[in-house]
Structure formats: C-alpha cells, structure tokens
Amino acid sequence: MALPTPPAAGKVVVISGPSGVGKTTILRRVLDDLPQLVPSISATTRPPRAGERDGVDYHFLSPGEFDRRRDAGEFLECCRVYGRQHWYGTLASEVGPRIAAGAWVVLEIDVEGTLSILARYPEAVTIFVEPADPAQLEERLRGRGTESPEAMARRLEVAHRELRESHRYRHRVVNDDVDAAVSAIERILLDAGLPESPPPAPSTTAPRTADSIPAGPGPSGPHAASESRPAVHPAPLPPPSPPRGARA
C-alpha cells in the first residue's frame, strides 16, 4: 500500500508598509479573497482591547512571559513599539508547523522584522506597500486624530525611514487605489505559486476568519487616492542591515 504523499512545504509571505498607507485594509481583503493564506497571530504584552480574543486576535502575554520566550529564542522577530512601550513579536510556533504542513503563512510586520524573517526563511515572498506620494501619509495620519504632535512626528520619521528601505523587498505595490492594490498583491502571490486550495491545517492552527488578522496597535482604513493601477516593482534583495521601524 502506497504511503500518502507529504504536502509540499509552504511559504512565508510578508506584507509591510509605513503607517497610514492602508496595508491592514489591503491584507484583510486579500485574506478574504485567498483562503489559502493563513494569517500569523502576533504575540503582545499589551492588554486586550474590547472584543479581542486571545489566540485569535493576538497571543496576549505578560511582560515576564514575553521576556522568557524571547530569551529562549522562541520569536522569529520582535520589537517594542514606540510610545506605547508594549512588545510585539512573531512566535516560531506560529510559522514553522504551518510551513511544514504546506500552508502559506502571511505576516504583517515592519522592515526590521522582515529582515529577521528573511534570515530564517530567505525564500519568503516580501511585499512592500507604499503611497503614490509620501505626503499622503501625514495627511492620513492627521486625519485619524489619535496622535499627539510628538507621536505624529515620531511615526512620520519611522514611516520615511521605512520608505527608504523599500528596495529590500522583492515586490513593491503602490496603493493609490485599494481595489487595484489588492489585485496586484493577489497576482504576485499566485504567480509565486500559491496553491488553489489550502492544505490540511496542523492541530495547532487557530480558527481562521477574516477577523483573525491582528489590526495592530493603530487603526487603519482604505486609502484610495486615484483610479490608476498600482505599480509593481520587482527588486533585487541586497544583504540586510539593521534599520529600525515600528509595528503598524
């Protein structure tokens, strides 16, 4: 009797972009359209917000537990978000078992986190979402009305730094229209070999819904600036360096 063929190994997909570019909204749409993708659930030391569920929105850890796991090498990447002083990170257990089972796991993380992921998964599909005009970022962030002037200045500083690092990503998508940006990212993933149906999930996989992607510490929303299709720019990946970004 022939043994069943083991599933092909999956891949890591990374979505990044500066605050205010609309990457979380885009990723929610992509997840709705492509159930083959499995969102990685970040760990954080911040308290749960109303309606958030442990293991679905985030893995909520105490600062001591987060430190213990970081010291034990259980994170693929982690960082402390400026202003809030809370830690966020991607546990290796969120990615490794799913990749081995053939799943495509998607992470929404910053530039520094992406470089840490590439050190472990050099074949990851990395996509950077950028605005048509960097000046749009300040307009969108100010429109939120949630930042002090100091926090706004810091967030914009980090955003411009991340834009300078966008060449480190294999693909870049300009979000001047949400629908077109979603289509561009879906085409990138399908061209990269995303299977047509999801593989059987390992027992550790949390239930997947459109709401299971963490919204991040700050809100996000659709940011369409025009009806033009976004540009997709394949870019060579140079050796990593240690820039510092902020989680969305």
Cβ contacts of 225 within 8 Å, gap of 6 or more: 131, 132, 133, 136, 175, 176, 177
Residue 5 pLDDT: 65
Q: Where exactly are the structural domains of the chain?
A: 11-191
For each of the chain's 248 residues, which pLDDT tens digit applies?
566 666 688 999 999 999 889 999 999 999 999 999 999 999 999 999 999 999 999 999 999 999 999 999 999 999 998 666 899 999 999 999 999 999 999 999 999 999 999 999 999 999 999 999 988 888 877 777 667 788 788 888 889 999 999 999 999 999 999 999 999 999 999 999 999 876 665 554 444 444 444 444 433 333 333 333 344 444 443 333 333 233 44
For position 229, what pLDDT does the model report? 34
pLDDT at 104: 98
Residues 15 and 108 sit within 8 Å (Cβ to Cβ): yes
Rounded to whole angstroms, the maximal C-alpha distance in the chain is 69
pLDDT of residue 155: 82
237 is written with which tokens? 């990946």
Alpha carbon separation from 129 to 13, 141, 173, 246 (Å, rounded): 13, 16, 5, 15
Measured distance CA(228)–CA(123) in Å, rounded? 30
- The pLDDT assigned to 129 comes to 98
* Token pair belonging to 3: 């043994």
CATH 3.40.50.300 fits 11-191, yes or no: yes
pTM of the model: 0.76
Q: According to the model, what pLDDT value does residue 148 have? A: 78
Q: Give the residue among 85, 61, 58 at the shortest CA–CA distance from 71.
A: 61
